Amino acid sequence: MISDGSFRLDGKLALVTGASRGIGYFLSKELAARGAHVIAVARTVGGLEELDDEITAAGGSATLVPLDLTDMPAIDRLGGSIYERWGKLDILVANAGVLGTISPIGHVEAKVFDKLMNINVSSVWRLIRTTDPLLKLSDAGRALLLSSGAAHSARAYWGPYAASKAAVEVMGRSWADEARQTKLRVNSVNPGATRTAMRAQAVPGEDPETLPTPAEVAAKIALILDPKIDDTGKLYDVRAGKLLGYNNPS
Ligand code: NDP
């Protein structure tokens, strides 16, 4: 099932990482426009403040959390702070990510690989760990993990990034399976090529005008956060406009 888009998120609390630009920025605006209070996480304070201005001007509300996701204890503290202030979390969007370098796998520098895995995989696990109990306190907890087509295409030169996104998807599926008996639903999303800084870094020769904007993509991603959507452990393919299943044994 895919949402008809008419849902509201009034009274809901949504945590979005990578909210300072790109897909996370516009997804934050989208969730706030539907009534959610957005906890916006990223390092760039200027980007977060711009987001806050736009959300506020449109009648919404946000809390800004300038945070480097390589700071794992800070992620743990974030969960504690959310519990103390709000007592629950309704939506987690683990969107922040980095590309690393597009190069032959044997040429990737160790520090680039380690940083990529730290941000794209370890910080997502740490977010899962700290938000799992909070999401289960919601009447309809929803978690969405940003993946990529690279996780499945396994193209030459994209190895570390592709591996990081495959890891995220599998973590999400395991988490979804564990949470099946609860109200928490966990899915991944492949946004498809989107006109952002990351895409420009990945494919520098490409004409950005040929790609959908992050606002267009975010509007579609938001549909999967409709509280009425009960699917779990799936991959939402934005370009296909549908949830894809996996060949799970169970
Ligand atoms: P951008 O590069 O435009 O934005 C990345 C976001 O992640 C920024 O807000 C950045 O904030 C944040 N971020 C990066 N490192 C850190 C860090 N150490 N701590 C906190 N925040 C961090 O990327 P996109 O919007 O293009 O990508 C969003 C997601 O979508 C990613 O997971 C990406 O892999 C995925 N994706 C994107 C595609 C595309 O074509 N654009 C295609 C497929 C998947 P700041 O620098 O302020 O900290």
Residue 2, number of CB atoms within 10 A of its CB: 14
Q: Domain containing 186: what range?
A: 13-244
Backbone angles phi, psi at 60, to 5 degrees: -100, -170
Residue 105's pLDDT is 97
Count the domains in the chain: 1
Using one digit for the tens of pLDDT, what is the confidence trace for 20-48?
999 999 999 999 999 999 999 999 999 99
Residue 249's pLDDT is 53
Residue 4 domain-assigned (yes or no): no
Residue 4, number of CB atoms within 10 A of its CB: 9
Residue 65, number of CB atoms within 10 A of its CB: 18
Residue 47 domain-assigned (yes or no): yes
Residue 5 domain-assigned (yes or no): no
Residue 229's pLDDT is 93
Asked if residue 44 has its Cβ within 6 Å of ligand 1, the reply is yes
Look at ligand 1, atom 21, and give the residue with the nearest C-alpha. 42
Q: Is the pLDDT of residue 250 over 70?
A: no
Asked if residue 196 has its Cβ within 6 Å of ligand 1, the reply is yes
Residue 1 domain-assigned (yes or no): no
Chain length of the chain = 250
Asked if residue 23 has its Cβ within 6 Å of ligand 1, the reply is yes
Catalytic residue among 83, 157, 161, 246: 161
d(C-alpha 125, C-alpha 12), whole Å:
23
Residue 162 domain-assigned (yes or no): yes
Residue 199 domain-assigned (yes or no): yes
Using one digit for the tens of pLDDT, what is the confidence trace for 76-121?
999 999 999 999 999 999 999 999 999 999 999 999 999 999 999 9
Residue 75 domain-assigned (yes or no): yes
Residue 3 domain-assigned (yes or no): no
Return the CATH number at 168: 3.40.50.720
Asked if residue 159 has its Cβ within 6 Å of ligand 1, the reply is no
Residue 246's pLDDT is 86
- Give residue 146 CA to ligand 1 midpoint distance, Å: 9
Confidence of residue 188 (pLDDT cuts 50, 70, 90): very high
Residue 11, number of CB atoms within 10 A of its CB: 10
The verdict on whether 161 is a catalytic residue reads yes
Residue 23's pLDDT is 98
Using one digit for the tens of pLDDT, what is the confidence trace for 142-172?
999 999 999 999 999 999 999 999 999 999 9
Confidence of residue 2 (pLDDT cuts 50, 70, 90): confident
- Give residue 249 CA to ligand 1 midpoint distance, Å: 32
